[in-house]
Amino acid sequence: GQQLNQSPQSMFIQEGEDVSMNCTSSSIFNTWLWYKQDPGEGPVLLIALYKAGELTSNGRLTAQFGITRKDSFLNISASIPSDVGIYFCAGPVNAGGTSYGKLTFGQGTILTVHP
């Protein structure tokens, strides 16, 4: 099936440091989505990528859709304590060129920021 391998599983960083996480797959994706989830809350969409090679920023966040369409990365610059949470990549499941409205998720990156 279409699985997403997300790494690292967890990160412990100092406030002000930059963060990088990525997702890879053996399958091609047409869309990459990056979500952040705070404890006890639902995932919040950070960045959506729709085109191979696309580089998109949202404040201190930057994400890229890999040119092979099999990977994506998310960077956070100058981290702050409120960046703490779990970050998930996600992409739509495709079968025979048809998407069914199902998302597959990476296993998540747990980010801890020390003040």
Binding site for another protein (CB under 8 A): 30-31, 33, 35, 40-45, 48, 50, 86, 88, 90, 92, 99-103, 105-108, 110
User: Min. distance of Cβ 31 from another protein in angstroms?
Assistant: 5
Using a 10 angstrom Cβ sphere, with 0-12 exposed, 13-18 middle and 19 or more buried, the burial of residue 42 is exposed
Q: What's the rounded Cα separation, in Å, for the pair 14 and 59?
A: 19
Which CB, 18 or 50, lies closer to another protein? 50
User: Min. distance of Cβ 115 from another protein in angstroms?
Assistant: 23
Q: What's the rounded Cα separation, in Å, for the pair 66 and 56?
A: 12
User: Min. distance of Cβ 113 from another protein in angstroms?
Assistant: 17
Which CB, 73 or 88, lies closer to another protein? 88
Residues 6+ apart with CB under 8 A from 82: none
